[in-house]
Amino acid sequence: MAPEYITKGRLTEKVDVYSFGVLMIEIIGGVKNTNLESNNYFDTLVTDAWKHFQSNTITEIIDESLMLSEDQIEEMKREIHLGLLCTQADPSLRPNMSKVLQILRHKDMDMPYPTKPPFLYESLRFSSSSSFHSFHAKSQSNDRNSPGKSQNNDSLRTHDHQDHSNL
């Protein structure tokens, strides 16, 4: 959920853009935002993607089961970049949906460097290693062993009830 929606309860186009960005990262990574397993309560799928983007290891969060060519991997990196633009902490910096569509249609269109996502500082303050892929591997294993059953939620952290008063 977009931080401004959590704090003010207002639905705007920029809240939708934020959700679209999260959805893009979820699809490319093969992990739901609420299912990111981490020892750090403040880690989210978006902060994890940002950390990989910053350290130039973004390919590590692309779902391996997609079995992509090098060109397709480059496109996924571009789409994660767009997802991060959509999930910037400051709503005024997020593109509107028409701009998002332009960027998706025109692969050679330049994109600005995204600014930090919400909750990044909290995540870095309490940082420990994220386990984006360990969840993904565990999820695939569970899918093979228990078709139709979801993973036990005891081992998952959701971030729906964080303190957002500092936004």
Task: For residue 7, tell me if it sits in a domain.
Answer: yes
Q: Check which CATH number belongs to the domain holding 59 and give it.
A: 1.10.510.10
Q: How many domains does one find in the chain?
A: 1
Quick check: 145 pLDDT over 60? no
3-state per-residue secondary structure call for the chain: CCHHHHHHCCCCHHHHHHHHHHHHHHHHHCCCHHHCCECCCCCCHHHHHHHHHHCCCHHHHCCHHHCCCHHHHHHHHHHHHHHHHHCCCCHHHCCCHHHHHHHHHCCCCCCCCCCCCCCHHHHHHCCCCECHHHHHHHHHHHHHHCCCCCCCHHHCCCCCCCCCCCC
Q: Which domain holds residue 87?
A: 3-134
pTM score of the predicted model: 0.68
133: confidence class by pLDDT, cuts 50, 70, 90: very low
